[in-house]
Structure 1
Amino acid sequence: MIHEHALLTIGPADVERFEKAVPEAREVLLSAPGCRAVSVHRSVDLTGGYLLRVSWERIEDHLDTFPATAQATRLAELIGTCFAEPPHVVHFADEEV
């Protein structure tokens, strides 16, 4: 299992629209091949900051398979225009050190 952590920066004018879209965006992601879990967390110290955490069965499910899916297209429609800057994405292994 791989855990994607994406730091999202949402423009002030788009926060309400983004938060309304999150429940559907979560369901869209969960229906993607290889997606196992999704959560979105609001930052307490960064205005417009959110952490999107997605658990994927394999990193290839996120990087190779997902971009060509209908789910990726729908996710972009739901939240893609809310970003004030490109998301910062880092992947983490499931194993602890």
Structure 2
Amino acid sequence: MVQEIFILEVTSGLEKDFEEAFNQAKELMSTSKGYLGAELKRCVEQENKYLVSVSWESVEAHVHDFKKTSEFEEMKKLLGPFYLSIPKVQHYEKVI
């Protein structure tokens, strides 16, 4: 299992709308083979900042399978308008 992790800042004042859109995005991701779950955590010190963690069976399940689907394109349209900048996405695996 790997986790796709990134920090994201959204337009101030639209946090609740973004959170609702993220719930819809989770539904889109859940249709993809290799998707294991997702979490959204909001920063306490900066309300428009989020930590996103999506669990996949493998990097390939995320990068090669999900990113080639119409659901991924729909998710980008759904969440993209909230982003202040494109986040840097990285994949992590458990060591200890």
TM-score by length of 2: 0.88
Cα drift, residue 13 of structure 1: 4.3
Q: Secondary structure at the match of 1:55?
A: strand
Q: Which residue of 2 is the match for residue 66 of structure 1?
A: 66
**Residue of structure 2 in register with 1:33 after alignment:** 33
User: How far did residue 49 of structure 1 move?
Assistant: 0.6
User: For 2:28 and 2:94, how far apart are their aligned partners in 1?
Assistant: 23
- Given that residues 15 and 47 in structure 2 are in contact (C-alpha distance below 8 angstroms), is that contact kept between their aligned partners in structure 1? no
Q: Which AA in structure 2 matches 1:11?
A: T
Unmatched segments (≥5 aa) in structure 1: none
What is the TM-score normalised by the length of structure 1? Answer: 0.87
Q: For residue 11 of structure 2, what is the amino acid of its counterpart? A: G
Residue identity (%): 27
Cα distance in 2 between the residues matched to 1:93 and 1:74: 27
Structure 1 residue aligned with 2:18: 18
After the TM superposition, list the runs of 4 or more consecutive aligned residues in structure 1 that deviate by more than 4 angstroms. none
1:23 and 1:47 map into 2 onto residues whose CA distance is: 18
Contact 2:6/2:51 (8 A) holds in 1: yes
| RMSD of aligned Cα (Å) | 1.4
Q: Is the CA contact (8 Å cut-off) linking 2:35 and 2:55 kept in structure 1?
A: yes
Structure 2: gaps spanning 5 or more residues: none
CA drift at 1:94? 2.8
Amino acid at match of 2:26: R
Which whole-Å CA distance do the structure 1 matches of 2:91 and 2:46 have between them? Answer: 21
